Chain A
Amino acid sequence: MAREYDTFVDNPDGFEAGEIDVAVRELTPDDRRKKYLTRYVRAKVAPSEEELPGSDILWLRWQRGRVFPRPWRIQVIRELGEFMPKKAVVRNQ
């Protein structure tokens, strides 16, 4: 069975197929206590399984949490680690 992940994006409607670096949350781990843990990965993403055979499910969420009704597909190519390098921008948050 396909595993399920989700990720938060600015605009699910404008999400584009291709190869991306993305933070994914585990939604269907073997040990349920690990649900929602996050990894950074390089992955291929596509809007349908036909375009990415054997892939897993990727739910998209807006940055403020609402889930986009139509799931995408994802195929993890490699792990990028636990964190993101810090970007040098000033943020009011």
Chain B
Amino acid sequence: MALLDNRQFTKALKQTGDLVEVNREVDWDCEIGAIVRRACEMEGPATLFNSIRDYPGHRIFGGPVSTLRRAAVAMGIQPTASTKEIFDQFYQRMQNPIPPVLVAEAPCQENVVVGDAVDLTMFPAPMVHDGDGGRYLCTWHFVVTKDPETGWVNWGMYRVMVHNERHMGGIILATSDAGKMKLKYERMGKPMPFAIAIGPEPVCAISAAVPLPANIDEVDVAGGLAQEPVRLVRCKTVDLEVPANSEIVLEGEILHDVEVEEGPFGEYTGYRSGPRAPRAVYRVNCITWRNNPITVISNMGMPVDEGQICYGTLGVGSGVRQALEAAGIPITGVFVPPYGAGNLIIVGTRKPYNHIATQISQIVFGSRAGMPANFLIVVDDTTDVYNIGKVLHALATKCHWRDGVMTFPAWGNPLAPFLSLRERATGRGGRIVLDCTWPVEWDPEAEKPVKSSFADIYPKELQEKVLRDWHVYGFE
């Protein structure tokens, strides 16, 4: 299938009924944010705004991949596929990466400004939520940086806010790949060159939101997701490359000796819980863009949006599954449900020995992708991890009040809403494991409860007869 760029993606979404076009003029100052937010909470369509107040000629595309259906469209998969089918396809493709190709000419460089001509307010960065720390130009994008020691290039989706005409502020966590590189540049006393691709091919944005192991190239994974190489072009002023069909590209350097206040901003947990704080400064030295640029925004908050779908379900889900498979755990499924906000992980497993839930928790919370999450539910192979009702039932009936519940102290995620401000500032948190599997030593006949279900409690011959005659009884 052909790799879709941002514009082809909007057309494909229109065809599948996953996009609404708004032609009436709308305001970048909160109105667009409010519309996209409501659509997200309804699990409704994406929105293409064709007329933006103060910004003639510009458009905004909101909520690009805030449902799994739209992730499927981005990868050329039938949008009606089940959650399991979409996730399995994603998982299989991400493990078959395809390297990019370099092109000489690119739509994203149809327009160029450099130096003093740079003015970030020429793009309709939205005020996404009322009370946010500023206008967020970068919420469906990625930051490209190069390791100064190894030359390895990372793509990561880290939010960035407009500070003034030439500068932006952003979160770059020390646990992120860019955060690790930033420390190296700081030690060398050199600013960190960056490029930011806004509104890239959607598979590229998805890949950049997946917590891949270090030294795995997001661009190759994006190629794998589309089953076609991503086309890259060299930047104008930094030694980095970006997808040729990106809508807008920012080039510049991240400074070390100064900070700006950034945030607060609605987060993937569903809250605006991280306070405003001094954060990294991006100095923009060059902007390039496609003719009639479409600024793309994700509106993070209460499920469901890109935070839960791209980072949580696809990103954390795939990373945790890889870690468990690598450790040889006999898993039967991994699911990070969108309403679990990347914070709750469900693992299905066969249970050859007791305390496999403990071992799973050590792998899950010890893995890069699972480290920021807080809850783990372990079910056995009789529970479908994608069926939240069945998982809830297993939790309500199989989790022993003491032996099935385990908590232990661990790194406190600064965005965990239930931690106090002090706990967050000092990184003091914990993890909760809920083991919903029967003890191995329970005798199957004498002690293990018999499941009172059609498939478990009737003789096979009777089940077959009832199934065969189902419509004869009068059922549809």
Contact = CB atoms under 8 A, between A and B. Distances in A.
- Asked if A and B bind, the verdict is yes
A67 interface: yes
Contacts of A82: 163-164, 167, 260
A78 interface: no
B456 interface: no
A87 to B, nearest CB: 7
Q: How large is the interface on B (under 10, 10 to 19, 20 to 34, 35 or more residues)?
A: 35 or more
B414 interface: yes
Contact of B165 (A35, A37, A67): A37
Interface in B242-257: 255-257
Interface string B257-279: 11111001000000011111111
Interface string A3-38: 000001000000000000001010000011111111
B206 to A, nearest CB: 25
A34 B120 CA distance: 9
Contact of B131 (A32, A35, A67, A84): A67
Nearest to B277: A93
Contacts of A65: 129-133, 264, 272, 276
A61 interface: yes
A92 B131 contact: no
Nearest to A86: B259
B339 to A, nearest CB: 23
B59 interface: no
Interface string B313-357: 000000000000000000000000000000000000000000000
Nearest to B175: A92
Given A37-B163, A37-B165, A64-B273, A85 B425 contact: no
A83 B278 CA distance: 10
A44 interface: no
Contacts, number: 94
Interface in A57-92: 61, 63-67, 82-87, 91-92
B257 A85 contact: yes
Q: Which of A36, A61, A66, A82 counts the most chain B CB atoms within 10 A?
A: A36
A38 B131 contact: no
Residue of B122, B260, B426 with highest tally of chain A CB at under 10 A: B260
A85 B260 CA distance: 9
A31 B121 CA distance: 10
A11 to B, nearest CB: 12
Contacts of A86: 256-259, 278
B261 A91 contact: no
Contact of B54 (A23, A33, A61, A85): A33
A63 B260 contact: no
Contacts of B388: none
A42 interface: no
B424 interface: yes
B275 A63 contact: yes
A38 B121 contact: no
B174 to A, nearest CB: 8
| Residue from A8, A65, A87 having most chain B Cβ neighbours under 10 A | A65
A63 B261 CA distance: 11
A89 to B, nearest CB: 9
Nearest to B415: A93
A83 B142 CA distance: 24
A84 B425 contact: no
A69 B26 CA distance: 27
Contacts of A91: 277, 425
Contacts of A67: 131
Nearest to A67: B131
B127 interface: yes
A49 to B, nearest CB: 25
B426 A38 contact: no
Contacts of A23: 260-261
A39 B260 CA distance: 10
A84 B257 CA distance: 9
A65 B165 CA distance: 22
Contact of B127 (A34, A36, A93): A36
Nearest to B123: A33
Interface in B272-312: 272-279, 281
B135 interface: yes
A93 to B, nearest CB: 5
B134 interface: yes
A65 B131 CA distance: 4
A83 B255 CA distance: 11
Interface of A: 8, 23, 25, 31-39, 61, 63-67, 82-87, 91-93
Interface of B: 29, 54-55, 121-122, 127, 129-135, 162-165, 167, 171, 173, 255-261, 264, 272-279, 281, 412, 414, 424-427
Given A8-B261, A63-B276, 6 more contacts: A33-B54, A36-B135, A38-B261, A61-B131, A64-B276, A92-B412
21 contacts: A8-B276, A23-B261, A31-B121, A33-B55, A35-B29, A36-B127, A37-B121, A37-B162, A39-B164, A63-B275, A63-B276, A64-B274, A64-B275, A83-B167, A85-B257, A86-B258, A93-B173, A93-B274, A93-B277, A93-B414, A93-B425
